[in-house]
Structure 1
Amino acid sequence: MFIHNINPVLFNLGPIEIRYYGLVYALAVILIYILLRKYKEELGLKKDGEIETLILIVFLGMLVGARIFHFLFSDLSIFIKDPFELLRIWHGGMSFFGGLIGSVLAGWLYVRKKKLNFWKLADIIVIPAALTLGIGRIANFANAEIVGTITTVAWCFDFGDGLCRHPYQLYAAFYHFVIFGALVYIQQLKKRINLKQGIVFASFLFLYCLFRFITDFWRDDTRWLGLTIWQGFSIIGVIIGVILLYSLFKKK
């Protein structure tokens, strides 16, 4: 058994605490900005400020969706008691599925208004997103949050409650990095054999939800009929991913 004693605060700037998770968000924005700048002509983002506006809209959509889903499915009682807790993002509490829906919806609305290719854009953004999600899980580990179920395996961690638990965050980080590598390969393959736009995003959705469904059996969370609510969303995501992949390969 290992004892978790990592300080969640990376460093301080006067009274401001810089935490690992804040750096993850900054990294995500930087990576997405670099890629959008690289492919701006191909994506049709030619006007000044369009890239920055798109990133801001997608990020806000992600933030709103992630917070709403977190309170709706994990901490509804806290939200009912104090609705303004929704705005206190520094208190933590984000849902991947809410963030995905929020960012996709916000991005789609912006792209539709600008008459751009949504799937081409999604294929590019989702690659650095997968990488930063993996780094984000390492930040979760540093913060001792989203812990695993109680276990007796040799590599278990005590996250401060005196119980030996699966390092679920590290399992999740690993599969995110695997997905990132797979997406990079698929993106390169798409260029070589002319796969349809949207294939990278559809692959991400399928792979993420498949891995999430499997690894959530080692996540300490509320369950119904033996499954977490997020495993329910994962099943839906796998189905949507399969439908998207089938339709894209059928069109080829």
Structure 2
Amino acid sequence: MNFPVYFYLGSLRIHPHVLFESIAYTVALRLVLRNARKDIISPPQRTSIIVGGMLGAIVGAKVLVLLQHINLLEQNTQLFLLLLLQGKTVVGAILGAVIGVEITKKIIGITRSTGDVFVYPLIIGTAIGRIGCFLTGLSDRTYGIATTLPWGVDFGDGIRRHPTQLYEIIFLIILLIFIHFRSR
């Protein structure tokens, strides 16, 4: 397999990270909206919380990736600016979303828990997005360390590595099943 694994829609070549990130956001948002209909928080309040979380996720995804690579600012300003435009991290997005939600809740005066609406969408969206990370290969910079295990993946540099993206997907599926049966 050659990485990145591009997808084609006619003559249009779609990068796997863009494709799966778009699918992840779409599916997660659709699930949040479905769950929000059953929620006890009023629709305007829920909308504010969703927007706060989305804005926090966007900012957090960028801020954390920039902090991870702050050394590039001194070394290569163009590469740093490229990271600013293209770089993002799911951990930063999650942290940013939590902060965005909590700030929004404080502003609109909500004190009760609001996270139940987001649990399944977050897990499913993350798992879908990680497929894109895996199919992107080395340029995503989320691959694991070198391994001699038979399921190691050569992302294009001749080194077999742990497919950490797939490990995370497996973990998320197990977590989803655990939460589902635990909440019954």
Relative to the length of structure 1, the TM-score reads 0.60
Structure 1 match to 2:128: 135
- With over 3 angstroms needed to count, the CA separation of the structure-2 counterparts of 1:14 and 1:106, relative to structure 1, is farther
User: Using the alignment, how far apart are the partners of 2:112 and 2:10 within structure 1?
Assistant: 39
What residue in structure 2 maps to residue 249 of structure 1?
A: none
8 Å Cα contact 1:149/1:165 also seen in 2: yes
Instruction: Assess if the C-alpha contact under 8 Å between 1:68 and 1:86 holds in 2.
Output: no
- Equivalent residues in 2 for 1:93-172, closer than 5 Å: 93-96=88-91, 98-119=92-113, 121-144=114-137, 145=140, 146-172=142-168
Task: Work out whether residues 3 and 155 of structure 2, in 8 Å CA contact, stay in contact via their aligned partners in 1.
Answer: no
Cα deviation for residue 14 of structure 1 reads 7.9
State how 1:12-23 maps to structure 2 within 5 Å.
Answer: 12=9, 17=14, 19-23=19-23
Give unmatched runs, 5+ long, in structure 1: 189-252
Distance in 2 (CA, whole Å) between partners of 1:13 and 1:32 is: 32
Q: Matches of 1:182 and 1:171 in 2, distance apart?
A: 16
Name the counterpart of 2:35.
35
Aligned residue type for 2:65: H
Q: Which amino acid aligns with 1:45?
A: S
Alignment pair present for 1:63 and 2:58: yes
Q: Which runs of 5+ in 2 are unaligned?
A: none
Q: Distance in 2 between matches of 1:14 and 1:45?
A: 45
Q: Name the structure 2 match of 1:25.
A: 25
The higher relative CO (CA closer than 8 Å, separation ≥ 6) is in 2
CA contact (8 A) 1:66 1:95 kept: yes
Paired amino acid for 1:165 = R
Number of matched pairs? 175
Does the 8 Å CA contact 1:69/1:95 hold for their aligned counterparts?
no
Once the two structures are TM-superposed, the CA of residue 10 in structure 1 deviates from its matched residue by 3.3
- Following superposition, the deviation at residue 85 of structure 1 comes to 4.3
**1:72, 1:151 → 2: CA distance?**
28
Would you say the 8 A contact 1:70–1:93 is kept in 2? yes
Q: Under a length normalisation based on structure 2, what TM-score does the superposition of the two structures give?
A: 0.80
Letter matched to residue 117 of structure 2: I
**Alpha-carbon distance, 1:135 to partner:** 1.9
Query: Deviation at 1:19?
Result: 2.0
For residues 144 and 170 of structure 2, the distance between their equivalents in structure 1, rounded to whole angstroms, comes to 15
* CA displacement 1:49-72 (0-9 Å, x = unmatched): x44443222111011112111111
Q: Which residue of 2 aligns with 1:215?
A: none
